[in-house]
Structure 1
Amino acid sequence: MEGDLIEGYFRNELTPAERGAFEQRLAADPAFRHEVEEHGKAVRLVRLLGRQALKARLAERGRQLDAEKARSGFRLPWRITLLATALLALAWWFWDRQTEDSSTPLPDTEIRRDSAETPAPPAPGAAEQAEPKPSAENSPSAAPPAAESSSSHEQLFAAFFRPYHDESLEPAVRGEGEPTPEEQFRQLYWEGRYREALAVFEVLENASKSNANLQFLQANCLLATGQAKEAALALENVLRTSRSRFLPEAQWLLALACLKDGNKGKAKALLQQMAQDAGSPMQEEAGDLLERIERWLQGT
């Protein structure tokens, strides 16, 4: 409901009374104002990427036409050339909105075996395909495990882990201008390009690097690229500051990071805390994984 209100504000669809109430809340509620600002900034990267792709294709077609004219010695009228190039660019634009970049490999596909996992994020402009807001069943890494009880700690990790996604992370499309590094990081994370996202995270300003929510996403990237020790450090910092909206998920991912790193004792301790906490959204998954770890240890 609040998301609809913010979207209506940016689309100028609110009534005068609604707009007045919205702006009063904007002035009085810093958290709400931050959410509105993030909504406004999140769209820039998508538009920039689309413009850059269109310009590149337009330039390439122009070079092809120049080469053809040089070979044939025949020069088309410049208006016809410009029109043909524009039509080709428009066709590329429509095609690009409907397809993913086939040259970008899916990261770490071995951990995406579960049939109930979250689908790949939609391409910009395909908002109707956006995934629903997760419940405990589709929160991070909560897919039903596919590994057998005798699996190693690496196999158990692979069966339970998946990078976190919910609709609040989906980039919107609005605004102009160059994207900030933080916007680039969020966009790359949403697209599942975790190694590239980590590279962008390194150039963020210190204020952004210390943001617990961004650190949580960084930890997901680290786990998705096999860097369990580094992910555990980031997640421990998130839990220590207690300033993230992803605290239950961070505790779950920390247990998985410890499991992947072979630290079974700490993984079990974290899982026991969640399994005994009736208020934890990860209680059921923690109990399930804990039981499988116990069976695995008994079989070794």
Structure 2
Amino acid sequence: MTDTRSPSAPSAGFSLLLPVYAGDDPRALRLAFESSVDRQTLRPAEAVIVQDGPVPDALAAELARIEGASPVPVRVVRLPENQGLTAALNRGLDEVAYPVVARMDADDVSAPERFARQWPLIDSGFDLVGTGMTEFETDPDQVVGRRIPPVGPDRIRAHARTHNPFNHPTMMYRVAALDRVGRYEPFGRMEDYWLGVRLIADGARVENLPEPLLRYRVGSGAFARRGGLAEARTEIRLQGELRRMGFISTGEYLRNVAMKGAYRLLPSGVKKVLFRRLIGGGLPGDR
């Protein structure tokens, strides 16, 4: 990749929130962090990294290196035990010093202009701004898929009735908007979908940029982790909550349960083809 880092890049009033756990690769973490800080044309004012439980020595060493080498202030919040992504993100929200947070995962890659494109929308009054993203397996420059989210509040709300309208790792949001809906809540691998729906239902101003401003790493087991009986049950429970809160009708609930529940039970290879050809951006993350 071309080194686009700019020592004199300006920063804006938002925090980068990046969770790390034992399964993350130190080399991927370095690339994720540098792409989201060193190489940004608009940098975060600080970075908060939540270490979710004990990590291997190599990963601990990389975290220590980042703390000492970052061009912006970095705080590593070390949790004594692994608590899962939902708890790690909520703890990070407790620790950030700025009212706006940009999400980042420890194995993805941000485009250099990502925050420069998102920040003006947040600064103009939006509560949440996501972006499109490309998918890669090992080489960020070898694109294997693309997720383009719906654009515009009406299309986002309509899309949310059947699929997650936001690509979670691309989100930039106001902490106060999350506080109003109770922040992240445990919901299997669908905590981000559940958060997005609650924000929309609460009247939050939301938007997506269609440009792929993040490169998302998909491993060989990504689609297998999105399937199985447990995931199908979580899907049905989520649809039940959407119906209960009046976000979808009974007819939409029945349709979603039939289609999405069946999708979760398909072989991973079939899910992969259907996801990329028919469903598109927005199933929950893989962690």
TM-score range (shorter-chain normalised) is under 0.3
Q: What is the TM-score when the length of structure 1 is the normalising length? A: 0.26
Bigger relative contact order (CA 8 A; separation at least 6): 2
Q: What is the TM-score when the length of structure 2 is the normalising length? A: 0.27
**Higher normalized strand content (fraction of residues):** 2
**Higher normalized helix content (fraction of residues):** 1
